[in-house]
Amino acid sequence: MRSVKHLAGKFIVFDGGEGCGKSTQAALLRKDLEDAGLRVLAVHDPGATRIGEMIRAILLNPDNTDMAMRSEMLLYMAARAQMMSERIMPALADGQVVVSDRFVSSTLAYQLGGDGLTVDDIRAVAEIAIKGRWPDVTLILDMPTKTSAQRVQPKFLLDFPEDVQAQLSKDRIELRSFEYHEDVRRKYLDQVKRDPARCRVINADRSIEEVHQDVLSTLKMLK
């Protein structure tokens, strides 16, 4: 295994479209880091705090079809603000490695363009929400949209009433059109073009181990 000691105190994000393997790769990296003796805070966005989980349930509930895109963006940022204040900033200050499943990069893919939202709009709100502490690296896991759509699993663990959970197969975001998710993929790749120093693309359309080794190779170069 490649050395990961230099990642102490770093903020690492895994992001990408639905079903691309973010959670799997985040868990594999966490194990490597802990095996190397590093302390790790692993979080998912939105969520990871009591308030964040309540916001997450609102955001992903398929009944909330009337939610405006600006409201959606601001709710995601509110959950991040709580997570940064309560968990991420203290962990980084303590020298821990923070590994996040999604972050602002998700909003720059999923909400960008909705109701006229621009990159500058989203980044300006994010700057306030995250107190200017951007990730050291964002790993964009990329694969064809048709492939990722086949991997999407039901969100039965969300805190919805039993009658809602019994009928739920996909969350509110996953239920959007194939064309929408194709556009999301393009917007992820655009982020890598805009900020190649902090955003790296990783081909996720391979075996789990191949992707994991690519993740480690990329992080090895992180300063």
Q: What is the CATH number of the domain that holds 72?
A: 3.40.50.300
Asked whether the beta carbons of 88 and 98 are under 8 A apart, the reply is yes
- Which pLDDT score, from 0 to 100, does residue 114 have? 86
Q: Report the C-alpha gap between 22 and 45 in whole angstroms.
A: 12
- Which pLDDT score, from 0 to 100, does residue 146 have? 83
Tell whether the model's pLDDT for residue 155 goes beyond 90: no
Strands (E), the chain: 11-16, 40-44, 97-101, 137-142, 199-203
As a whole-number percent, the residues of the chain with pLDDT over 70 amount to 87
3-class secondary structure, 140: strand
- Answer yes or no: pTM beyond 0.85: yes
- Which pLDDT score, from 0 to 100, does residue 82 have? 98
Over residues 6-52, the pLDDT tens digits come to: 999 999 999 999 889 999 999 999 999 999 999 999 999 999 999 99
For residue 138, what is the DSSP state?
A: E
* Alpha-carbon radius of gyration of the chain: 17
**Residue 82, domain extent:** 5-220
Over residues 50-93, the pLDDT tens digits come to: 999 999 999 988 889 899 999 999 999 999 999 999 999 999 99
Say how many domains are in the chain.
Answer: 1
AA letter at 105:
S
Q: What is the mean pLDDT of residues 163-186?
A: 67
Tell whether the model's pLDDT for residue 158 goes beyond 60: no
148 vs 10, 77, 111, 188, CA distance in Å?
A: 28, 25, 19, 14
Tell whether the model's pLDDT for residue 1 goes beyond 60: no
Q: Report the C-alpha gap between 59 and 94 in whole angstroms.
A: 31
Q: Report the C-alpha gap between 108 and 18 in whole angstroms.
A: 15
Phi and psi at 136, nearest 5°, equal -70, -30
Confidence category of residue 154, pLDDT binned at 50, 70, 90: very low
Confidence category of residue 173, pLDDT binned at 50, 70, 90: low
Cα angle, residue 14 at apex, residues 223 and 109 outer, rounded to 5°: 115
Q: Report the C-alpha gap between 45 and 83 in whole angstroms.
A: 8
Out of 89-93, 139-143, 147-151, 182-186, least confident range: 147-151
- Which pLDDT score, from 0 to 100, does residue 163 have? 54
- Which pLDDT score, from 0 to 100, does residue 156 have? 37
Task: Share the mean pLDDT of the chain.
Answer: 89
